[in-house]
């Protein structure tokens, strides 16, 4: 009888292993007949090909009111506290606790890396100066977050440092989704760079194709970044970026059979038509510009930025009248040279919503003679991209 039971247990275990392996094999395998695909992702340390920034954080005196109590480490002077809210979509207050202070004459910080609200068992780290080429050490921390259905324990990586007296923080993670459609292999990556101080996804996520039919990219340009509602071209199969789960573990793509007929500012779409008033008082229509390439060049004169404006002048000087160049910014002085569009002019609101979208922008949109978006890029990178675009 015991021998028989052992055989039954063995066979049951074997079927369980085979079943698990089968489920693992079919995960993220899809058919192009499906209108919607759900891609499971893995979280990866660091930024890879993406550009991740920092956000400024403000510490409070430990005597202030906080959502929960913690155990403070000893022998740290000038101790201050910051609660990093991990889940912006959750009403409950889930945080990563961070302390700032001085020890042995150096500025230090402590992160509740194991999320036990006891910071006496966490490492005391020097608050290094942020050098963009060689950022401070990346540290791992645990936290609670909702995946949209229930609260789960998760973990990620943080980079904390000092920049001209300000304490900056940025998460250092990206998501990878490897999948196949009709046995064709793809890999996508996702980041949320405009939300550096939270682990919630779904506010301003960027998705990019990292590998198409097994061919990996070695860099990502601005136009490779796909936002909500825009479309990924997976070997001429088009899928709209529909949604992402709160903690980033699931991406939803929906088939789009009308991409080539879409109007928008994504590369490959039909450029939105416009009618604007220039700062010279002239009315300009997009239909007047179909005779040659048009570059809508956003610059940002606020904050003492002269580089983007200089890039505009360099573009005009390099290409002359061979292309149309429309300069977009606010607070510009009148000029008889060039075409300048005030982004704050009420008449230009629709143009602003399509081609600027935010008060400060440095994005260039290149519109071809067929009235499609050929490319978009940061104006300060024009030398690397624009000559090739115009030539080709």
Record the pTM. 0.85
Q: Degrees (nearest 5) of the Cα angle 291, 296, 300?
A: 160
Domain 275-391 class?
Answer: alpha beta
Ranges of each domain in the chain: 35-51+174-261, 55-171, 275-391
From first to last of its 392 residues, the chain has per-residue pLDDT tens of 444 444 444 444 444 444 444 444 457 999 999 999 999 999 999 999 998 889 999 999 999 999 999 999 999 999 999 999 999 887 788 999 999 999 999 999 999 999 999 999 999 999 999 987 788 889 999 999 999 899 999 999 999 999 999 999 999 999 999 999 999 999 999 999 888 778 999 889 999 999 999 899 999 999 999 999 999 999 999 999 999 999 999 999 999 999 999 999 999 999 999 999 999 999 999 998 988 999 999 999 876 788 999 999 999 999 999 999 999 999 887 776 789 999 999 999 999 999 999 999 999 999 999 999 999 999 999 999 999 988 87
Residue 63 — φ and ψ, nearest 5°? -80, -10
Q: Give tens-digit pLDDT for 28-39.
A: 999 999 999 999
Contact 100, 106 (CB under 8 A): no
Sign of CA dihedral 267, 46, 241, 186: positive
Q: What gap in Å lies between CA 57 and CA 54, rounded to an integer?
A: 9
Q: Degrees (nearest 5) of the Cα angle 144, 150, 151?
A: 10
Contact 298, 379 (CB under 8 A): yes
Contact 308, 380 (CB under 8 A): yes
């Amino acid at each position: 009888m015991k021998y028989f039971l052992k055989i039954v247990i063995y066979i049951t275990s074997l079927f369980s292993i085979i079943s698990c392996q089968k489920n693992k094999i079919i995960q993220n395998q899809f058919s192009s007949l499906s209108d919607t695909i759900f891609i499971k992702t893995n979280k990866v340390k660091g930024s890879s090909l993406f550009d991740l920034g920092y956000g400024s954080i403000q510490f409070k005196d430990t005597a202030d009111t906080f959502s929960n109590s913690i155990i403070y480490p000893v022998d740290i002077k000038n101790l201050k506290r910051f609660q990093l809210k991990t889940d912006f979509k959750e009403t409950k207050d889930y945080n990563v606790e961070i302390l700032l202070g001085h020890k042995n004459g150096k500025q230090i910080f402590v992160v509740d890396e194991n999320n036990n609200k006891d910071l006496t068992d966490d490492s005391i780290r020097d608050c290094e100066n942020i050098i963009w080429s060689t950022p401070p050490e990346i540290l791992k921390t645990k936290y609670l977050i909702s995946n949209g259905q229930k609260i789960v324990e998760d973990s990620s990586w943080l980079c904390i440092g000092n920049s001209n007296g300000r304490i900056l923080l940025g998460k250092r993670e990206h998501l990878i989704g490897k999948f196949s459609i009709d046995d064709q292999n793809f890999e996508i990556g996702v980041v949320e760079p405009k939300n550096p101080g939270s682990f919630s996804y779904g506010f301003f996520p960027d998705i990019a194709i990292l590998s198409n039919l097994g061919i990996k990219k070695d860099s990502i340009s601005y136009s490779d970044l796909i936002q909500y509602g825009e479309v990924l071209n997976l070997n001429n199969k088009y899928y709209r970026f529909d949604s992402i789960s709160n903690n980033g573990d699931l991406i939803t793509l929906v088939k789009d059979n009308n991409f080539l007929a879409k109007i928008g500012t994504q590369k490959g779409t039909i450029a939105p038509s416009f009618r604007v008033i220039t700062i010279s008082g002239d009315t300009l229509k997009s239909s007047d510009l179909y005779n040659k390439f048009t570059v809508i060049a956003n610059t940002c004169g606020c904050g003492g930025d002269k580089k983007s404006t200089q890039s505009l002048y360099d573009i005009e000087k390099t290409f002359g009248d061979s292309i149309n160049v429309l300069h977009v910014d606010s607070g510009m002085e009148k000029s008889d040279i060039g075409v300048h569009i005030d982004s704050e002019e009420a008449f230009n609101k629709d143009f602003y919503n399509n081609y600027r979208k935010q008060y400060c922008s440095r994005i260039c949109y290149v519109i071809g003679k067929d009235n499609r978006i050929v490319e978009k890029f940061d104006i300060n990178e024009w030398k690397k991209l624009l000559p090739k675009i115009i030539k080709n």
